[in-house]
Amino acid sequence: MTFFRDPKRLLATLIAGVAGAIVLLDFARAAPGVGGLASYLVEWAAILTALALLVGLINVAFSHAARVFRREADWIYSAVLLLAMFAVIIVGLVGPPGVNLAEEPIRRLFEAVYVPLASSLLALLAFFSLSAILRTVRERNVPAMVIVAVALVVLILGLPPIAALPLVGEALGWFNEYVTLAGARGLLLGAAIGTLVASVRVLLGFDQPYLDR
């Protein structure tokens, strides 16, 4: 088998599988003696993740700085990105005395800049939704039209004057509590099962993202 003919691939698979199995056993409390080793592995994973994030940050900074110095196409966006990145780093490191240097300044910066931008982008979703509704009606896609019809009914019934009518509020509450929540739980269960299957495949060596394959 090619799996056993490639020593690097075999070694990487054994390390990933054994480390994952130890952390999984500790999480399931199936082997009490591996708690210390599992914590040690998790701490190493956190350190490696932080180093990878730092390397990625440096790579992005140098890449965009080179675009700015060479005045490439759309270099102004690179300059804005670098300015925002260094502003967040500096604000996170320097702050008034007696204030949490890592949280309070960055929180204020996000409230002043990021929150309005996020609100503006969310407001644009209304126009994207309207455009999707118009395309659905024009294409006469029956399943999509059913989804649109249900969404419009729920939105209309949720308006304050209509929601105040007798039995309307109770009907919306029942719909949100049983139908909407059931769909959300189904999505979460599907995502959990998919994550479990992907994790088992990584532990058994069928998928090897750590080898970029």
Q: Is the pLDDT of residue 168 over 60?
A: yes
Question: Mean per-residue pLDDT for 76-80?
Answer: 88
pLDDT at 101 over 60: no
Specify the pLDDT at position 190: 92
Q: Judge whether residue 5 has pLDDT over 70.
A: no
Are the CB atoms for 78 and 86 separated by under 8 Å?
A: no
Q: For residue 92, what pLDDT is reported? A: 67
pLDDT above 70 as % of the chain: 88
Q: What SS3 class is residue 182?
A: helix
At 160, the pLDDT band (50, 70, 90 cuts) reads confident
94/139 Cα distance (integer angstroms): 55
Find the helix packing angle between 35-70 and 7-27, rounded to 10°.
Answer: 120
Q: What angle do CA 87, 90, 95 make, to 5 degrees?
A: 120
Q: How confident is the model at residue 191 (pLDDT cuts 50, 70, 90)?
A: very high
pLDDT of residue 178: 83
Q: What type of residue is 153?
A: V
Contact 205, 17 (CB under 8 A): yes
62-66, 130-134, 199-203 — most confident range: 62-66
Report pLDDT for 113. 79
Coil, strand or helix: which one is 71?
coil
- pTM of the entire structure? 0.56
Backbone angles phi, psi at 35, to 5 degrees: -60, -45
Report the distance separating Cα 19 and Cα 42, nearest Å: 9
Q: Please determine, for residue 2, whether its predicted confidence score (pLDDT) is greater than 60.
A: no
- The number of beta carbons lying within 10 Å of the beta carbon of residue 23 is 17
* pLDDT level of residue 162 (50, 70, 90 thresholds): confident
Q: Which of 88, 85, 64, 87 is nearest to 76 (CA)?
A: 64
